[in-house]
Amino acid sequence: MKKVLPVNRPPAPPEVGATLQRMRLERGLTLEDLSRTAGVSKSMLSQIERETANPTIAVAWRLANALGVSIAQLLSSDVPKLDPIRMLEPHETPTLPGEHAGYILKILGPMELAGRFEWYELTLAAGGALVSTSHDPGATEHLTLLQGSVEVEVDGSRKKLKVGGTARYEADKNHAIRNTGKTEAKALMVVIHR
């Protein structure tokens, strides 16, 4: 009589679709919101949520960063108990690098508020600038200078900002923030969408 050996099958890949969808919905994000923030196509996100595709490590990393969770949390099917205090490590803070323009923009606000209230830490190298086209109608920005020298330009009008001062301006017009000094400048920026 022949012995039948058990077949050792590798474990199935984690089903991240339900976890991804739950995390996205908990944060009030649409597929389009998450697509824009994570840099992953909407169709790929939809396929992952429907369990017709599994993300690569690079895609999972982008999604985890956009959602403010670790890759392990994204790949886990366990529903975590919510901690009353959620801590983010510095490396978990999403960052929009604009080295070519001399700025770094750290996204400090939670992704679920994107498109309503957003807040950032803006770092401008000497001579660097963050130049923006108009945002949605009624949008405003509030820029508080922490260090350095900056000039704010809105629709052709320019003003210098003092350290500790705040500039409030209409962001539904073309606008720019420029470092006019010889050292790095840092500021906190809040964007409010109407």
pLDDT at site 1: 63
Quick one: average pLDDT of 11-27? Answer: 80
Strand order in the sheet with 157-161: 129-132, 175-179, 150-154, 157-161
pLDDT at 176 over 70: yes
**In this structure, which amino acid lies at residue 43?**
S
- In the predicted model, what is the mean pLDDT of the chain? 87
Report CA dihedral (67, 19, 44, 94) to the nearest 10 degrees: 10
Digit-coded pLDDT (tens) for 60-76: 889 988 898 888 888 87
In this prediction, residue 168 has a pLDDT band, given cuts at 50, 70 and 90, of: very high
| Contact present, 139 and 169 (Cβ < 8 Å) | no
pLDDT at site 80: 55
Domain 17-75 has CATH 1.10.260.40: yes
Q: Which burial class, exposed, middle or buried, applies to 34 when counting CB atoms under 10 A from its CB (0-12, 13-18, 19+)?
A: buried
SS3 call for 50: coil
- What is the CA angle 23-28-32, rounded to 5? 90
Q: Which overall architecture, per CATH, does domain 94-192 show?
A: Sandwich (2.60)
Cα–Cα distance for residue pair 172/25, rounded to 1 Å = 28
Span(s) in the chain for CATH 2.60.120.10: 94-192
